[in-house]
Chain A
Amino acid sequence: MIRAALLLLAVLALPARGEEVVASLSQDTIAITANFDGSEVFVFGAVKRAAPAPDGAPLDVVVALQGPLAPVTVRRKERVAGIWVNTQAVEVDLAPAFYAVATTRPFEEVLSQTEDLRHAVSIPRAIRSVGAPPDVQDSQAFTEALIRLRADSGVYRLEEGEVALEEQTLFSTRFELPANLVEGPYRARIFLTRDRDVVDLYEAQIEVRKVGLERMVWMLAHDAPFLYGSLSLLLAIVAGWAASAVFRLIRL
């Protein structure tokens, strides 16, 4: 009896599982060179079906692109004796350096809160914050401020209606990556949703890394800091001397 019920459930669930994402990104690595000035990632794909598309609620696509995670401290200023002073601070455990979500329709209409909670898709869910110091009552305000500040600087973006979906099958969207891109793995997730539930999920990764001169400088600074510092000083001294010498020649 129980087995029969389970089988029935599985069969009922089948049409939903019958739809799969097949997707690709325009590039899987982004090289940061000396003249790097932002980049663009094009995400495209199709929905693979064993059977014709089910009737009822339309199909939706949500694409989330997440940069490397790092801890962040958010501080709040207060007026103390007429002067604005940093008084409280909240450490946000992990916040992505870049986060963009693109959808076919308004976010609330394509993903339920339960699914958002499960997959951490919306911007507030992508930030992991556990607890605040005891002197801070409204830690929520700090995470909201983090999102607001980063949204203002263009690194957190919600792009509703930016995914183009044709014939319930072909979809595409593009993300503009800013010039101040942080190095590391960027995780792309593509969700197929129907009736605000996730039907299928596809994941891919883009590696963002410095190359050539950029890489060499960075490596030296981190692997041999003393040598790097001395080289920087030598550069400064030689340049100062050279300029002085050149100007003297011009003058004579």
Chain B
Amino acid sequence: MQLYLPIAEVSANAFALLGIGGVVGVLSGMFGVGGGFLVTPLLFFIGIPPAVAVATGANQVVASSVSGVLAQLRRKAVDLRMGSVLLIGGLIGSGGGVWLFNLLQARGQIDLVVQLAYVAFLGTVGGLMLKESLGALRRARQPARPVKRHQHVWVHGLPLKMKFRVSGLYISVIPPILVGMSVGVLAAIMGVGGGFIMVPAMIYLLGMPTKVVVGTSLFQIIFVTAFTTLMHAVTNQSVDMLLALVLIVGGVVGAQLGTRLGARMKAEQLRILLALLVLAVCAKLAIDLLWTPADVFNIAHGGPA
């Protein structure tokens, strides 16, 4: 069944769109990543113009995140206090990120910076996670060796301490604010919610338990992507409501399934899967940068290319 999308000005297969929404929703519910880094390339692939894909993708992520957060809330797996602290940092960060984005755009190299940032971050984050979670899995197979859960590092010496009961942490608010800020900057530049950076940062930098991380990450992604959607709608008129609706229907169902799948898995397995996913996206981007393109020319804007 073909559907003509009024803003994208192309017609696309409704079932393909439902499928894309569903896949992204499953990932969102399982890992707490918004899926923005995946939905945009998939939409390009079926011929949606890039600007519309980015803006509408953000709108879909809002829906799947809401759906995911509600499911996580019932399992008491959302640290609202930590989420709010991260969000404050995130909003400050995205303000700075938007400023940086405009600066780079004026220089005409925003695409390159975005791609390089993706490759560098995804590669590092994915690699570290894979290494750590494989190690954790191996340790779990050899029992009777107690692992110290909270290591005392410099992070714990900072002032302004706050109790995060759901996460079982008593730490300074400075690290979460800084994490939120850096993710906010990156999210604004790269046009994504930032879940794939936020999730590992919460686990490894803040020491939050994996089960709480997913819901908390989704909680703050809702706000970041809602802001992005509104900005795109006002400045570029590039949000396609019809496209969003179809993606959302697939996405919210997927998010519910993903949450249930995630709940049945071990934390280490969940992290290994996310690490592999992150590395796969990284490899794809790296290949695009290094491989000789099929055509060195490309049409930047104005109608279908």
Is there an interface contact between B66 and A225, defined as CB atoms closer than 8 Å? no
Within 8 Å of chain B (Cβ to Cβ): is A140? no
Tell me whether A221 and B241 are in contact (CB under 8 A): yes
Contacts of A149 in B (CB 8 A): 295, 297-299, 305
Taking CB atoms, residues of chain B closer than 8 Å to A79 are 292
How many residues belonging to B are interface residues under a CB distance threshold of 8 Å? Answer: 64
Give the interface segment out of A28-36, A54-62, A100-108, A115-123: A28-36
CB A185 to nearest CB in B, in angstroms, measures 14
A183 within 8 A of B: yes
By the criterion CB–CB under 8 Å, are A236 and B66 in contact? Answer: yes
The residues of B with any CB-CB pair to A shorter than 8 Å are: 1-4, 6-7, 9-11, 47, 59-60, 62-68, 70-71, 74, 108-109, 111-112, 116, 226, 229-230, 232-235, 237, 239-242, 244-245, 248-249, 252-253, 255-256, 288-293, 295-305
Q: Please classify the interface of chain B as helix (H, G, I), strand (E, B), loop, or mixed, using the class held by over half of its residues.
A: helix
A179 to B3, alpha carbons, bound, how many Å?
10
Establish whether residues A233 and B230, one from each chain, have CB atoms under 8 Å apart when the complex forms: yes
Q: Is the CB of B302 within 8 A of A236?
A: no
Contacts A86-B111, A145-B297, A217-B242 given; indicate if A229 touches B233 (C-beta within 8 A). yes
Q: With contacts A233-B230, A236-B248 known, is A35 near B304, CB below 8 A? A: no
Give A183 to B272 CA distance when docked, in angstroms. 47
Pick the contact of A221: B63, B67, B239, B301 (CB < 8 A): B239
Contacts of B289 in A (CB 8 A): 83-84
- CB distance B293 to A240 under 8 Å? no
Q: Is A248 within 8 A of B290, CB to CB?
A: no
Residues B241 and A228 in contact, CB atoms below 8 Å apart: yes
A85 touches B248 (CB 8 A): no
Q: Chain A, 21-53, contact with B by CB distance < 8 Å: what is the 0/1 string? A: 000000000001111111000000000000000
Q: Mind listing 8 A-B residue pairs with CB under 8 Å?
A: A72-B301, A73-B300, A148-B297, A210-B6, A229-B232, A232-B59, A240-B65, A244-B252
Asked whether A95 lies within 8 Å of B70 as measured between CB atoms, the reply is no
Nearest A residue to B234 by beta-carbon distance? A225
B contact residues around A235 at 8 Å (CB)? 63, 241, 244-245, 248
Chain B residues whose CB sits within 8 angstroms of the CB of A237 once the complex forms = 62-63, 66
User: Is B305 a contact partner of A150 (Cβ separation < 8 A)?
Assistant: yes
In the complex, which residues of chain A have a beta carbon less than 8 angstroms from the beta carbon of B252?
239-240, 242-244
Instruction: Tell me, rounded to whole Å, the shortest Cβ–Cβ distance linking A229 to chain B.
Output: 3
CB pair A72 B67 closer than 8 Å: no
| Closest A residue by C-beta to B7 | A221
**A237 — nearest CB in chain B belongs to which residue?**
B66
B282 nearest CB across to chain A (Å):
15
Determine if A131 is an interface residue (Cβ-Cβ < 8 Å): no
A243 touches B298 (CB 8 A): no
A7 within 8 A of B: no
User: When A and B form their complex, which 5 residue pairs have the shortest distance between CB atoms, in order from nearest?
Assistant: A229-B233, A240-B66, A243-B252, A145-B297, A236-B63
